Structure 1
Amino acid sequence: MGREQQLAEVLVGLADSLADDIDPVVLVERLADSCVRLTGADAVGVMVASSRGDLRPLAVTDEQAAFLEFFQLQADEGPCLDCFREGRRIDVPDLEGSRDRWPEVAPYAIRHGYGSLHGLPLRVHRQTVGAVNLLLHGTGGLSPIDLELAQALADVTAVALVNWNPEPLRPSDVSNRVQAALAAKAAVDIATGMLAQAGDLTMPAARAALHDYAGRRHQRLVDVAHALVRRSLTPDGVLHAHDAHDVHDVHDAHDARDVHDG
């Protein structure tokens, strides 16, 4: 698939999120995955501001990115935090040369295989509500056009995150909607943990089961998560449906092979 077609699909997907039934967790995960697919970043993390003004992780594409974001928050330093606080893009083409600026975070990132990164502001109506971390294993960073593309995707996502409407948004509206996104992320994390414990699964496998259940029933991920947390849906109900789907796929594959062999 060409890059133009990939970009078209990403923009259509993000535009679909401008609906009243937005699923904020899926939306921000889509942003992170799209940045990896389209810009050449090796990993992406998205953090948004809590009601207290500090950043909280909302989506990451892999474990190492999650650890780095968590470490930045613990150390209270790093490109992503500076990006949020200053409301502007932070480019770090060579982390080795940034040890003085971020004496804890830069060496930590280098030890975990990253050579460069970029922090992009997540903003709505000039109000910065979070930041996007683009991480690369090599030095040099991303090209200007890739950075512009990533910022455009972040801008579209931020608008969708606060559920755009024709009326001007007040600062409190933006903040409240971002808090709702954090609450949705917390519900999804709790539901994922419930599935992992009930099915003796890894967290990624449990998350996949949750996504599969929601997708096949055309429900929002956060709604399925809330149903699990409220106990109106049981973990076994989700996991057995996931297992049944796997068995069905195996039978379909066997049938297709039999037809082909015949």
Structure 2
Amino acid sequence: MDLQLAGRVALVTGASAGLGRTIAAMLAAEGCRVAILARRRPLLESLAAELLVTAEPLILTEDITDPTAAPRIRDAVLSRFGRCDILVNNAGGSRPQPPGELGSEETWQEAMELNFHAARRLTHALVPAMQAAGFGRVINLTGQDEPHNVNPANAPNGATHIWAKALSRQVGRDGITVNSIPPGRIRSEQIDLRVMPTEESRRAWAEREVPAGYIGQPEDLAVLAVFLASPLARYITGQVIHVDGGTRRYSH
């Protein structure tokens, strides 16, 4: 299937590892010109070296929680490529708290900045260029909405889903779609280093919780993100689409 992505311009945040890195690579393989953004430049440079076969990526080293970063990022992408068709808001992270603790005010503020405001500011900065082009795709990587305990990163997930739904209604007639993808347990730095550091723990959890029987690989989610980025997905907007191997128990 031709996804009609050749020549499109995509910006992927949190592109240094895991889901962001895989999504950027898949978009480039489909013919997109890509801007890759994260804080760890050496990892971005190694990704850029891989992508040089199919693209000439723009490397952006920014802390997206800086309130002044969004206009700089927008200007850099538009200066290099003249447009931005696709924005993948992937940067974020969980903030689990020790049992019985509710988290400090600083932790809650930081989680909201990283997991909601940063993506909102960057999206708002780029929407006018998408409107002018008559085409745009905004894809937000969020998180679970079945919280099992207090985690300051859960509230921004809900905020992102509501904001994205509202934005999708406002910009739909401009050829722009806005969707959110909450990953289930997908192999990543966070999962492998902080949540399930051993193969035994990952296998046991998957056998107990995942109907598919295994913890997903980044490619299992990236294929959906790349499809949603394509012109073929023009009638899919304002949605929250879970990619979790069937883990969540709600039917809606």
Place the TM-score, normalised by the shorter chain, in its bin.
under 0.3
TM-score scaled to structure 2, two decimals? 0.27
Of structures 1 and 2, the larger Rg is shown by: 1
Higher relative contact order (CA 8 A, sep 6+): 2
Higher helix share: 1
TM-score scaled to structure 1, two decimals? 0.27
